[in-house]
Structure 1
């Protein structure tokens, strides 16, 4: 019986291997690394600039905070370790500024979120002129913070020609009083005056975030609730509010990041007087008026660390929102 020999496999052609070095002739690890670096290279100048303007000054502030350094006595500079940080938490004026910062931040954020939610619910409805109303409501957030503070200080709070006292006189005249008492709003209620100015400017920001949340509600779920006979309050309580939880958290965290380090309104309206000096203003006083560089740097580091903690939670909320949108799509 004759056997058939299996054909031999053709030998590979002689010559250099395919370019690229990878399996299948594709780009190898070396070429892939070069391509990745070529893609990231245009971002390197921005990264270097970001490090130069943010991280290097913070590192210098961190070093200065470890020294007992008064610019009026530069020869007496000495290493103090963590003594400046201990003074930040034990000095009475700094403790009061920390309490004022917490109170100011909580008041502004809570009131802004509540008003922003009410305005977002209004703008979520369809009515004539909604675009114009939305544009007007966003405008306060676009004004420079110092300009907004000056507007409140002179156009509203001024006891002689401010709009608040003018409206108060007009209302009093309706009830037969020709010369009502003209309150000095900043002197009589300084912290409330600062809170009102910040709420006016930050309510549009909260409104935009919550309006985006309202417009991202699943339409089929809302329609099913209407068909089942749910009232407006039940729909809001059991569907809208749970859906807005992430957006409320994001607005609260982002608002807190800004209000914690707010300086413009306090400096412009009250110059830190009458119990309105928050921690950023106290740092300004310590650095530029008392010339205590080490103590001011330590207080600044405390503010930065607190802001980083809040920003970390904000980033987690943002990432969870993106994850929910991706899973939904």
Structure 2
């Protein structure tokens, strides 16, 4: 048996020292990582308790036939609730209304917000006052905004909209009964346009002024500068505005509850309001839970797709 030499022992000692140093460095890195994460643990636990546990309970109820009027008939039915809601014509109508209201509100508010942001990006006397006044609708509570449009604007007897169209000879219109979805979209656009305006104004003000000056020196007019310089720069901000606006608007409940109550019939009901009807008016917990799961999954899928597009825009901007 060969006896280890002094050099072998020294090399072994150095390897053990390096191993011990690496292990100590890993322990220090792990400890630093936990010290950074520790302040976030209470918030993480709060989010889990308030979101994930209720969602898991919703999935559990969606797999059972549970009606509060017939508690003795509760049983496990698997995916039967999901099959029932997809053949429910009212559910399909509510889903279509959710898409129409969300797309109509988001894109109308985006266009109006872009126009207002372009105007506010210019210097003029009273710009600060105008900006404050334009932001005001976004600061109003949704319930107050819905009541304002339902009573003060769209009321068939003394509403401001009917008074204005009466000046040009049109007959009064019961807006929330004859055009319920349009009435809801108008009220939502009024509330969400300031949000879009703020995001797009931030994008406009982040644009480099020397690029605009170079375009002007090259003889580009206002339209060409906006189309080929400003609009590509605003792509990220517009996509972000659409994503955030869609996530919030798809969950609209206040305006529908206070302005139309989902009517006439279920003509203006969206998914959140129809889920409320089935859960708290129809007492059908199983099917309402299944509708909630479908709504959440669809929202997450659309959000992930939109986030991928936004991240792709960011990567292209960084690479360029």
Give the alignment's TM-score, normalised by structure 2: 0.88
Corresponding residue for 2:145?
148
2:68/2:284 contact within 8 Å kept: yes
Query: Is 2:187 the partner of 1:197?
Result: yes
Gaps of 5+ in 2: 1-9, 11-15
Following superposition, the deviation at residue 183 of structure 1 comes to 2.1
1:261/1:303 contact within 8 Å kept: no
Corresponding residue for 1:69?
66
Work out the CA distance in 1 between the residues paired with 2:222 and 2:24. 60
Corresponding residue for 1:295?
287
Work out the CA distance in 1 between the residues paired with 2:315 and 2:42. 31
Query: Is 2:305 the partner of 1:306?
Result: no
Deviations 1:231-268 (A, max 9, x none): 10111111111111222111111111112111111111
Following superposition, the deviation at residue 30 of structure 1 comes to 1.8
Work out which of the residue numbers 280, 283, 287 in structure 1 matches 2:275.
283
Corresponding residue for 1:22?
21
Deviations 1:72-115 (A, max 9, x none): 11111111111111122211111111111111111111111111
- Aligned residues: CA RMSD: 2.3
2:239/2:310 contact within 8 Å kept: no
The size of the alignment, in residue pairs, is 303
Following superposition, the deviation at residue 314 of structure 1 comes to 4.3
Corresponding residue for 1:183?
173
Output aligned runs, 1:111-150, within 5 Å. Answer: 111-150=108-147
Deviations 1:113-146 (A, max 9, x none): 1111111111111111111111111111111111
1:254/1:314 contact within 8 Å kept: no
Corresponding residue for 1:34?
31
Corresponding residue for 2:212?
222
Work out the CA distance in 2 between the residues paired with 1:156 and 1:53. 37
Work out the CA distance in 2 between the residues paired with 1:90 and 1:217. 50
Corresponding residue for 2:232?
242
Give the alignment's TM-score, normalised by structure 1: 0.85
Work out which of the residue numbers 142, 164, 167 in structure 1 matches 2:164.
167
Gaps of 5+ in 1: 1-10, 12-16
The higher radius of gyration belongs to 1
Work out the CA distance in 1 between the residues paired with 2:314 and 2:37. 24
Which sits farther off after the overlay, 31-40 or 184-193? 31-40
Work out the CA distance in 2 between the residues paired with 1:133 and 1:233. 25
